[in-house]
Amino acid sequence: ISAMGQDPDGNGWRIGLAETSDQSPDEFVVLSDNSIATSAPLGSTFDGKTSHIIDPLSGQPVQSHWQRVSVIHKSAAYADGLSTGMVMMNHASVAAIELSEHTQIIVRAQDGRTTRMGL
């Protein structure tokens, strides 16, 4: 999602985050002149339980530490690539990421805990 400018009231655009598109958002972010991409291993599935995201090393559906990974950046393509790649990373690897300027990350672990970086 790319949010251009402000809403008609002059505020940033309110974007809801959820694991799947048929769920109600459980978290919101406000964006203005920024993009957000969210990758969720079970956001789309092959059979209701197998992730649509394929691990390039094994060729198998990813077994992720995350319910979802959201990345905020000026570039929607950058946010999309980083969010998908991060789904395959473990907690230590995500914590070690050196974020480029203007990049924000929101990760929700399988246990429901949310971590925000760069905010």
Q: pLDDT by residue for the chain (119 residues), tens digit each? A: 999 999 999 999 999 998 877 889 989 999 999 999 999 998 888 888 899 999 999 999 998 999 999 999 999 999 999 999 999 999 899 888 888 888 999 999 999 999 999 86
The residue assigned the tokens 């991060």 is 86
> With 0-12 CB in 10 A as exposed, 13-18 as middle and 19+ as buried, what is 60?
exposed
Residue 59 backbone zone (phi > 0: left; psi -120 to 50: alpha; other: beta): left
The torsion angles phi and psi of 98, rounded to 5 degrees, stand at -95, 110
